[in-house]
Structure 1
Amino acid sequence: MLRKVSVTELLSNKRIESLYGIRQREGCKLVQTIESLVGIPIAIHDYVNATLFDILSGMLWSGSLVEGAQKQIKSDFRMFSQKLVDLCGEPNISDVFPFLAMFDLQRKGNKMKKLVLWFDKIFDQVIEKRLQMKTVENMDFLQVLLQCRDQVDQKKTPLTITHIKALLQDMMLAGTKTSSTTLEWAFAELMQKPHLMKKAQDELDQVVGLDNILEESHLPKLPYINAIVKETLRLHPAAPLLVPRRPSESCVIGGFLVPKGTKILINAWAIQRDPEYWDNPLEFRPERYMDSTNDCDYRGTNFSFIPFGSGRRVCVGVPLAEKMIPYLLAKLLHSFNWKMEEGAKLDMSEAFGLELVKKVPLVVIPISR
């Protein structure tokens, strides 16, 4: 039920289009913020992450909080979400020896309980403020969920405040962490190959014009920008191991029997670097998607390119991600030139875990165009 509500009320193409004003507003704010920092080294991930939080919170619970409370929640959420991702990505001896889980030898269970309480506090505040409001101007996602809670048969299809908090948390984590990581990797690759950045900016200048404002409606006319995003997701999928699957029936794959119910982890990172399917797989080359015969899309129809998974359980956020990520990348490339600090070396090493992030955060200097 929650997946169906998410798709129809938040992530349908019609709904996403209707919420473009939020993305446009926050994208312009991001540009204005960075304009005030021209010539100053900045950690690009931090600014993009903050913008994505504002976009998603505007879509999920717009107008529920005063500005001060919203800023505090943004700060808390970023800190706690990073702790959660780090904790989930660390090795856990209980995964190898399940009988040790009851002893919590690494104190992971205790740490996770504290994180759950922190997230509960954040979303309790959001929901409590909404319930106190006498009128709601916009029918946002939180309001839809609260109305569903009041209308459904709780015995047949339970929908509690706990379910709502869990869904909001999932939406915020998936939408902010993965997208900001992807954009940071895109910038890192472009800093390594400045001629590709110049090519993207030339496309933007030709389609949008240097003195005009970039809109989402320009994206279909920006194939090279979209190719950069695809190539970034190929080399640096935010989730290198896709969400675990379990086969409903026993099957044989590559001569190996996979029993029914076996937990399967799909290594998208390795698949998308496989030389059997990709020419020069370790080279960042957006041009590979400019060929009309290339059939890579974000729905996983080509099994060599599956950054969002594939099949019925493909990531529900694909329609939003394929708008937000290219839009913010294009916005930043259209508004600024970028360079590294004097004498700085670009470190492209990866920190493996639940999320594939840069080991060393990217620090760049924006320059007015």
Structure 2
Amino acid sequence: MDMAVIDEQHTQQEAKRRPPSYRILGSFPHVEDVDANNGESEEEDPMAWADLEEYGGSKQTLEKKKKTTTRKLTHAEVRAQLQELKELELKMAEATADKHSKRGMFETIEWLKKHNQEAKASSDKQKRRHSNSVVRSVLDFFHRSPKNEQNNSNEDNAPQLQSPWGQAALKCEWPELGFTLLNQALVDDTERVRQVMESEELWSASPHAIIALAKWLRRFDEDVNRVLTLKQYLLEERTVLANVGYQVTTLYDSYKEALNAALALIHGDRHELQSAILQTFEELEAILSDEVAVVKDVVEQSMDEAQEYTALSNLFQHLTDDDCCGVIVPKLLGWMKQNCDEEEVQAFLALFDDDVKDAIAGEWMRHYASYLQLLDEFSANFESPLAYLT
């Protein structure tokens, strides 16, 4: 007999004995097979499971694939599971905050220690005395500061400043509060440099001290721009609350001209330099005063006291740790520690989340400390705002 015919017959016989491949893969049987059995379950073929095992499966594998009915969760069960998930996320967040909440503080401590070592190596005793004072003050504050608590409040129940917060210390009425507070970061600086001028130290200052003063003036101008940006943020917060569009355009041209004139005299006559710096401050303070008066009239007509405090609170609550305007916050804290009671200071600090507090104690504080150290060679700077930390 022809071998091809024999092979074909053998193949047909094997096909009859061997179950179809769909049984190996767990498929449903053909319709005609079900009808033939009158709906009864087909007798199990041990070879089918043996074939399946060749592919790493088993009878148990197919049984797991059987369709199972699931019960729909009730609303109470869903809420319980969501609450359990929320508690788990809260524990994870607390663990992370506990690990990283002091990162900025420790980085600032190391930075200040390094500055302290550099100051000790200096031959300028006056500079060493001032720098050490700043470093000791900041280090003492960080060692005494309590651990930041994780703030898990949502925006609806977040801490808010309450009337009459800040009005007594700033000597202002509530419609003036927002801009007057922000201006204080600049006014505090001008008062400090005025003390240097009144002491007449500028006339005998070293060239190094004069160059440092020029750097300070440029960084002061940067802070003027940052305060202006924060004022725009505050106007936006007022717009949201009062549903009124606020637009305040302030011209700083006279201040800019006076500042440029002062910088041009850095290497010139010291008496002329002193007059130019004082003129710069007078121009700026006049502009800030006029600005507060204009905003006061607008705020009184469109908002109430509670809304103004809410707007001011939201301004600081919405600051992020990567906002360049945040360097103004340590300056405000410096003023508050000297002029406000402890409860008002703590109410202000409560507005910030852990990330922002870390930036305040870290990068922003280091920026502020380096800013103050530019005036180290002037003894009038001995009572710097960082003394509030002691």
TM-score normalised by L of structure 2: 0.21
Higher RCO structure, 1 or 2 (CA under 8 Å, sep 6+): 2
Q: Which has the larger radius of gyration?
A: 2
**TM, length-normalised to structure 1:** 0.22
